[in-house]
Chains A and B, each alone.
Chain A
């Protein structure tokens, strides 16, 4: 009987670059910037790292195939390094690899690093995919905003919500994240915006306007993990440990069977339920202190609140408008500004979310610090609403 990951892994160091249009640097510089912060934070030496995982997604730009770019850049001493690519969960997948390696007893100390250099394409948005050779013949030229925009039409139809009211709730999602991002020196977009600005922005994919979409940025983030025993031996006190790591992938039900109404994420609903079970959480709305979810688009965050079982079905717009997910609300969400303000360098995002939870749990989030957080949840959603990969991670104070 599997016993889960709860409290088997300690995070002893994390690092995160400034996110943004880093025209002056490439993947190598980004990786070094995050790693140097991380290893100092961990208080260990590079030679102590026994294995590493690199999360990165886009071959079109970026570091190319294989994991080689990480050891070549960091000059890691001929250790095991594995690349993980699983769409937007790529970074969290590298973390999962490192955690499982430590928990299995195969290694003492491991590194998980995510990086993505997106701003070398010459245009906005994510790099256009040429798709696999079959998709090219039949799949519409779906973009990320377009595919997630479909959720808004499905959600509004399912719950009979006036599209204008839904658009307002979506706008509040972005409004709240911009307010948070303005306080974060590492965020890409650091300006608060008004509801009017959001509601009147040019349309990217109906009904998503510019401010309903996250930015496109370059960045890297990383974590060093070990066992709680070694963490204690290293003199760490009040450290952060992993409570749950779950992943759920679509199997064609949404895209090919007859029931799904493009109103929720089947995978998120499953992954979050499993994560709560793994972490021993019974009332997530009461027990989760804070969240960093995959707000690639405002509607994604809105719908995700229900699939994380924090908002009741059909009630996310109300909770959002009530400020439940604001920094001073019941479950603060996107405390660091989210993908909305950090942008989404795909391989880095999952680790960037964990970085904020880690800072908050250590009381190091400065102006954004929320009071006495115990459990932080992170969530990635890669792919499309109808066919996706969802990761949910929960971390918290060890022994609490």
Chain B
């Protein structure tokens, strides 16, 4: 049996209320009021498709043996690097084995499902046993536009394999069309969209049913047997309309998450699928389909093993970690839609030494430190000579991962002088459970809520962007945890 073995998700904590968009931009585009329900998940200034992908993948790996992973497929249309494999950065951040295959699946919103189908083909062949498929998108839109209302940010991750399967893969069917409802030319920041009526009627309403019907026929299964049908469509009425056309009752149609998250692009079919798995019972049949230059449809059957899966943050957990953002200007600054004066101090910087990044890749990208084999003291960064005063062993360090370790705040500040995308820059010293400490930026927090002794967790984030060289730098930050 092959299928899904674990799942994870990451939806950014910030939720921009759609009324905040309307209140700021409705004067220009009053029609956007029609879709101004609820809120959309938006990246903090230090989150992007890559950082969300790492976080979703970490969630997926909870309770799993990451040494068993044979391949990592990263799926997105908004990856930071056009040439420097983004999946390789995710793999390093996760500290996966070196002898695995990594690949980016991109250029279409169906890249996530296409990677899944490809992965199942590979696992079926027996060549690989466990493949991680992570999809993430952080799509940019111009302001005061329907798509600004529809789009949200998010990531989902699935582990596919042949052991301890929680949802058996029963079959797939794909159709591929050069249907350019939108496109984004190389070097362009924003999508160019064609008329919505055509996208709805000739795109979603025809292509998704074609793939689903193809799958039903291929697998000789009827639509009635499915407990849940999952496909994205941000046109609310068409989302339901397609179901009606296929004979799917409303309670079996997976919600498109418009009100709570928005449409997360490549990640969306997977994210909705994770939400469906969170509610699924053994024996449930789930149909998953995507949309984007065609459609991939897949058929799953949930197994007993789903009950034994360790609890993941998933969609439910991600949605629960929520901070409302009603400040459209802040969102616009985070997306670089408005230019603010950063001051002369912000000009310091220069090149990033790639030799250093390569030599210290485990430390910088993976948050791997050292643990003294002689005295057992964890320490970061990994030194040559043990820091413990009465130890001082030379060359006795073994790798020690800090990323999954809980910690607490030793000292902190909120710095108004430091260059920051969101002043004050909150940072401090954090102490890890079991030993080891570091000076770290804090993120996803309010200065007034930070306390000495407060628990923290580490999160993979964007550190800076060197615009002159197109270099995106990532590192780990401490996220103070809300206290009861």
Contact = CB atoms under 8 A, between A and B. Distances in A.
A339 interface: no
A1 interface: no
Nearest to B453: A157
B437 A146 contact: no
A134 B416 contact: no
A136 B352 contact: yes
Interface string A112-152: 00000000011111011110011011111111011101111
Given A134-B356, A150-B428, A153-B411, A256 B417 contact: no
A253 B377 CA distance: 12
B348 A258 contact: no
Nearest to B478: A140
Contacts of B364: 137-138
Contact of B379 (A139, A206, A256): A256
Given A154-B452, A204-B416, A252-B383, A137 B344 contact: no
A205 B419 CA distance: 12
Contacts of B475: 137-138
A262 interface: yes
Interface string B146-181: 000000000000000000000000000000000000
A255 B369 CA distance: 14
Contacts of A35: none
Given A157-B453, A253-B389, A261-B410, A142 B439 contact: yes
B388 A257 contact: yes
Given A142-B439, A257-B379, A386-B429, A137 B360 contact: yes
A25 interface: no
B344 A123 contact: yes
A139 B418 CA distance: 12
B235 interface: no
B473 A143 contact: no
A343 to B, nearest CB: 15
Given A128-B345, A206-B447, A257-B379, A149 B441 contact: no
A234 interface: no
A156 B453 CA distance: 12
B379 A262 contact: no
Contacts of B417: 124-125, 143, 145-146, 204-205
Interface residues of A, number: 46
Nearest to B360: A134
Taking each of B388, B413, B431, which has the highest tally of chain A beta carbons within 10 Å of its own beta carbon? B413
Nearest to A255: B439
B410 A154 contact: yes
A143 B426 CA distance: 11
Contacts of A203: 414, 416, 424
Interface of A is mostly: loop
Interface in B322-359: 343-345, 348-350, 352-353, 356-357
B363 to A, nearest CB: 7
B145 interface: no
Contacts of A204: 415-417
B241 interface: no
B298 to A, nearest CB: 40
Contacts of B424: 203, 205-206
Given A137-B357, A203-B416, A204-B416, A153 B350 contact: no
B345 A140 contact: no
B463 interface: yes
B413 A257 contact: no
A252 B437 CA distance: 11
B411 A205 contact: no
Given A130-B348, A149-B413, A151-B411, A140 B419 contact: no
Contact of B387 (A140, A143, A253): A253
Contacts of A124: 417
Nearest to A263: B411
A157 B350 contact: no
A142 to B, nearest CB: 7
Given A123-B344, A137-B357, A154 B411 contact: yes
Contact of B411 (A137, A140, A262): A262
B415 to A, nearest CB: 3
A123 B343 contact: yes
Contacts of B436: 256, 258
B425 interface: yes
Interface in B65-88: none
Given A133-B356, A153-B413, A140 B427 contact: yes
Given A133-B353, A205-B424, A150 B418 contact: no
Interface string B364-400: 1000000000000101110100011100000000000
Nearest to A158: B452
Contacts of A261: 410-411
A137 B345 contact: no
A140 to B, nearest CB: 4
Nearest to A134: B356
B345 A256 contact: no
A137 B412 contact: no
A117 B332 CA distance: 39
A141 B418 contact: yes
B345 A157 contact: no
Given A146-B418, A257-B379, A130 B349 contact: yes
A251 B387 CA distance: 8
B440 interface: yes
Taking each of A129, A145, A257, which has the highest tally of chain B beta carbons within 10 Å of its own beta carbon? A257
Interface string A92-129: 00000000000000000000000000000111110111
Contacts of B352: 133, 136-137
13 contacts: A127-B348, A130-B348, A136-B352, A137-B357, A137-B473, A140-B439, A150-B413, A153-B412, A153-B428, A204-B417, A261-B411, A262-B410, A386-B429
Q: List the 4 shortest-distance A-B pairs measured between CB atoms, nearest first.
A: A146-B415, A262-B411, A149-B413, A133-B353
Interface of A: 121-125, 127-130, 133-134, 136-143, 145-147, 149-154, 156-157, 202-206, 208, 251-253, 255-258, 261-262, 386
Interface of B: 343-345, 348-350, 352-353, 356-357, 360, 363-364, 377, 379-381, 383, 387-389, 410-420, 424-425, 427-429, 431, 435-441, 447, 452-453, 463, 473, 475
